[in-house]
Amino acid sequence: MIELLNLSKSFVTADGPVDALKHVSLSIHDGDIYGIIGMSGAGKSTLVRCINMLERPSDGSVIWDGTDLGKLSKKEIQQVRHQITMIFQSFNLLMQRTCLENIMLPLKLIHMPRAKAKARAMELLETVGLPDKANAYPAQLSGGQQQRVAIARALATDPKVLLCDEATSALDPKTTHAILSLIREINRKMGITVIVITHQMSVVQEICNRVAILENGAVVEEGEVSQVFSNPRAAATKALVYPDVAEGMEPDEGVNAQTVRVVFQGNDAAKKPMIASMAIDCHIAATILSATTRTLNGKAYGNMLLRIPGGPDELARAVKYLSAEPNVVVQVDAEYTQDAVNAREGQDE
Amino acid sequence: MNNYIATYYNAEKLAKAWAVIRADFLRETGVTLYITLMATLFAILIGLPLGVLLVTGDQKGIRPLPKPLMAFLNGLINLLRSAPFIILIVVLMPITRAIVGRAVGNTAVIVPLIIAAFPFVARLVEGSLREVNPNIIEMSLSSGASTWQTVYHVMLPESVPSLITSFTTAVTTILGYTAMSGAVGGGGLGNLAITQGQQRYNQAVLLAALIVLVILVQVFQTVGTRLAKRMDKRIKE
């Protein structure tokens, strides 16, 4: 288990100190595929580099299986880095070395005999699906293939944890999907804990079981992916889960206008014509301000932002009607839009 | 023009020049190569680690060294690089004598040449290593590599093509310096051109020596460039 306890990191820049991380506390359990998501500049990269001590935290600690990594010597940290390995957005392969030699690099660092290292590297090339590329140079490979070689390299020393720093951000959607499948397979078959840093919600959606949302260096929301996605609370999470809503919706300050967020889970709820039946049964013609559906692990999740005409009476009736449906959660959401406005103003400062 | 040719390239001069070429050129070319290659070898042996140190020991490098030490190294390199070679030869004579036992002759020339060339090589190596992608260095450190392992397994292999280009520049520059070896009784083509050619008013000898030197530089440069290109695996085939 990896525990981040009250982790802070500040940098001294020409414009004064910058707090990249502010009191971050997270627990990542063995076997998790843990997503850390945030906009660029949220502090994701700094956070992941604190986990393997590429960046020394200014305050707080990183506890890995009971060991406080911040208290280890340089030598001991190097040992830990054979157990917590990393892949990158730009793959970072040695361009002057063949794929085989790239995968052998971590094994050379631990002084494994060459023949043994070579056999291990061949085995890993097989694992990542590139057995015929042993003697190819990285420049001869596609981006997806390069990332596969980088994954093989990261697996060479039998790590316990794999850190993925925007590992699919430079890849096209199809290749991204293939790489994510490979990472999930590694997680399941080898039992390696994976920490995924990304700005893409789709990545978290596809492979993570838990997620933390990072904004301005602080964790604003954390939990099971299905929970966070179906019922996002923090403004930053909503902005990530429903980017269309956050960007397109300006609250209309009309006296009677009230907005309601309707969240539904499961295929049954998703198939019901709720708004139409409400119009017939309650005579309330709601305006759909935005609506999205997405599928997580085969289960449909929907989210609608509705405006209910009339006054508080109609609002109450509508909430009551919609709440009666199974697997539907209704939030009176005037506050949401206000949150979103504040959050956006906060970012502009 | 006719006068010039009549004075310097008449039959008598050409005959003398031919005699000098036949008697001395092969040997003196060998001397030039001996001085050049020995000086380059030692300049690299000293300059390569020093160049590595300049990069890794930088305040933003992978193993920052104390600021005063880095300032001293940089200052020393700048000092040696600003001294004209001919002055360096004279100033270093006691040191040369202490190292090779004598201050004159072919081998004696190699010492001041090394002293003049290693700071130059260090700067070239520094430039080559700074070109290495910082992301790759981060990858190395994240894989648990020590400073030395990062230098040996990552920084040096990644900059091989650039280092070859740098060493080619070094060898051709050092070849040019060898012409001054005559100042301390050293030999070589440059010395021959001055003593047998210029000082004895035999322009043909001078010209012939020049041609051989030009050919040597061309050969070094061509071989170096080709090797650098062939070693570079970034180019798709």
**CB distance B144–A105 less than 8 Å?**
no
- Tell if the CB–CB gap between B143 and A153 is shorter than 8 Å: yes
H helices of chain B, where? 2-8, 11-20, 26-56, 67-82, 85-91, 93-100, 106-130, 134-142, 147-150, 156-158, 160-177, 189-192, 203-231
Assess contact for A164 and A182: CB atoms under 8 A.
no
Residue A7, φ and ψ in degrees, nearest 5: -75, 125
Please report, rounded to a whole number, the percentage of residues in chain A having pLDDT higher than 70: 88
Rounded to the nearest 10 degrees, how much is the dihedral formed by the CA atoms of B131, B135, B140, B141? 110
Given this model, what pLDDT does residue A254 score? Answer: 39
Encode burial over A233-258: b for 16+ CB neighbours within 10 A, e otherwise: bbbbbbbbbbeebbeebebeeeeeeb
Q: What is the pLDDT of residue B82?
A: 92
Give the nearest partner residue to A109 out of B143, B234, B237, using CB atoms.
B143
Closest CA of chain B from A74, distance in Å: 9
CA nearest B133 in A: which residue? A92
> Which of A144-153, A281-290, A306-315, B90-99 is modeled with the greatest confidence?
A144-153
**B160 chain-A contacts, CB cut-off 8 A:** 96
Domain for residue B212, yes or no?
yes
Mean local confidence (pLDDT), A286-311: 75
What is the model's pLDDT at position A283? 85
Residues A226/A299, Cβ–Cβ less than 8 Å: yes
In-domain check, residue B17: yes
Min Cα–Cα distance to chain B from A131, Å: 20
Please write the tens of the pLDDT for every residue from B21-42.
Answer: 888 888 889 999 999 999 999 9
Is A281's pLDDT higher than 80?
yes
Structure confidence at residue A53 (pLDDT): 95
More confident position, B16 or A184: A184
B175 within domain boundaries: yes
Please give the backbone phi and psi of residue A161, each rounded to the nearest 5 degrees, phi first. -135, 140
Is B131 in the A-facing interface, judged by CB distances under 8 Å?
no
Give pLDDT, residue A336. Answer: 46
Is a pLDDT exceeding 80 seen at residue A151? yes
Sheet holding A161-165, edge to edge: A84-88, A161-165, A193-198, A33-37, A210-215, A218-224
* B105 token code pair: 């002759």
Residue scoring higher pLDDT (A226 or A118): A118
pLDDT band at B235 (very low <50, low <70, confident <90, very high): confident
pLDDT at residue number B72: 97
Q: In which residue are the tokens 């843990």 written?
A: A34
What is the C-alpha to C-alpha distance for residues B90 and A312, in angstroms, rounded to an integer? 100
For the cut 90, the answer to whether the pLDDT of residue A113 exceeds it is yes
* Average pLDDT of the residues in B144-151: 96
Show the domain range for B98: 2-231
Mean pLDDT of chain A: 86
For residue A331, pLDDT over 80 is answered with no
Q: How far is CA B172 from CA A124, B39, B162, B185, in A?
A: 45, 11, 16, 22
Task: Report residue A243's pLDDT band, with 50, 70 and 90 as the boundaries.
Answer: low
Tell me which amino acid residue B132 is: V
Q: Tell me whether A323 touches chain B (CB under 8 Å).
A: no
Interchain proximity B136–A92, CB inside 8 Å: yes
pLDDT tier, B1 (very low <50, low <70, confident <90, very high otherwise): low
Chain A residues with CB under 8 Å of B157 CB are 94, 96-97
- The verdict on a CB contact (< 8 Å) between A78 and B145 is yes
Q: Is B64 on the interface with A (CB under 8 A)?
A: no
Tens of pLDDT along A186-202? 999 999 999 999 998 88
**For position B29, which CATH number holds?**
1.10.3720.10
Q: Which residues on chain B are in Cβ contact (under 8 Å) with A81?
A: 141-144
pLDDT band, residue B237 (cuts 50/70/90): low
pLDDT of residue A257: 54
pLDDT over 60 at A245, yes or no: no
Instruction: Write the CA distances from A316 to A125, A254, A260, A284, A339, integer angstroms.
Output: 61, 18, 10, 11, 22
Q: Per residue in B43-92, pLDDT tens?
A: 999 999 999 999 999 999 999 999 999 999 999 999 999 998 888 888 99
| Cβ A50 vs Cβ A9: under 8 Å | yes
Please indicate whether, in this complex, the C-beta atoms of B158 and A94 are within 8 angstroms of each other: yes
Which pLDDT score, from 0 to 100, does residue B236 have? 55
Q: Give me B234's structure tokens.
A: 């970034």
For chain B, say whether A90 makes contact (Cβ under 8 Å).
yes
Strands A2-13 vs A16-28: parallel, antiparallel or unpaired: antiparallel
Name the A residues in 31-60 with CB < 8 Å from any B CB.
52, 54
Interval B178-224: pLDDT, tens: 888 777 778 888 888 888 777 877 888 888 888 999 999 999 999 99
* CB proximity under 8 Å: B 144-183 to A: 144-146, 149, 153-154, 157-158, 160-161
**B138 in Cβ contact with A87 (< 8 Å):** no
Interchain pair A95, B234: CB under 8 A? yes
* A160/B contact by beta carbon, under 8 A: no
The whole-angstrom separation of Cα A194 and Cα A33 is 5
Of the ranges A78-82, A91-95, B130-134, B183-187, which one carries the lowest mean pLDDT score? Answer: B183-187
Stretch among B7-11, B151-155, B217-221 having the lowest mean pLDDT: B7-11
Return the SS3 of A36: strand
Residue B132 domain flag:
yes
pTM of the model: 0.82
pLDDT of B101 above 70: yes
More confident residue, A203 or B196: A203
CA B79 to chain CA mean position, Å:
17
Residue at B180 is within a domain:
yes
Interatomic CA distance for residues A230 and A224, integer angstroms: 10
**Residue whose pair of structure tokens reads 């020596």 in the numeric block:** B209
CA atoms within 13 A on the CB side of B91: 10
Q: What is the ipTM of this complex?
A: 0.87
Task: Look at A68 and A286; give whichever has higher pLDDT.
Answer: A68
A288/A203: higher pLDDT: A203
Backbone angles phi, psi at B81, to 5 degrees: -75, -25
Instruction: Give mean pLDDT, residues B107-130.
Output: 94
Q: Is pLDDT of A276 > 90? A: no
Query: What pLDDT was estimated at residue B169?
Result: 96
- How far off is chain B from A95, nearest CA to CA, in Å? 6
Distance to chain B for A209, nearest Cα, Å? 25
Instruction: Name the token pair of A148.
Output: 């596969």
- Token reading at A11: 């940098």
Note whether B160 contacts A96, CB cutoff 8 Å.
Answer: yes
Judge whether A161 is closer than 8 Å to chain B, CB to CB.
no
Q: Decide if A136 touches B, using CB distance below 8 A.
A: no
A81, A93, A96 member nearest B142 (Cβ): A81
Mean pLDDT taken over chain B: 90
- Can you give the pLDDT at residue A250? 45
Lowest mean pLDDT among A279-293, B69-83, B139-153: A279-293
CA distance B42 to chain A (A): 26
CB atoms within 10 A of CB A291: 15
pLDDT, position B181: 77
The answer to whether the Cβ–Cβ distance between A94 and B154 falls below 8 Å is yes
- The answer to the question of residue B237 being in a domain is no
Q: Which residue of A has its CA nearest to B62?
A: A54
Average pLDDT over residues B106-125: 93
Q: Which two tokens stand for residue B223?
A: 């071989």
Q: Is B230 on the interface with A (CB under 8 A)?
A: no
Q: Which residue has the tokens 């001041």?
A: B112
DSSP for residue B94: H
Q: Which helix (H) or strand (E) holds A96?
A: none
- Count of domains for chain B: 1
What is the least distance, in Å, from the CA of B171 to any CA of chain A?
24
> Which residue of B lies nearest to A107 if distances are taken between CA atoms?
B143
Q: Which tokens hold the place of B176?
A: 């040019």
Instruction: Please check the confidence at residue B233 and state whether its pLDDT lies above 50.
Output: yes
Position B236 in a domain: no
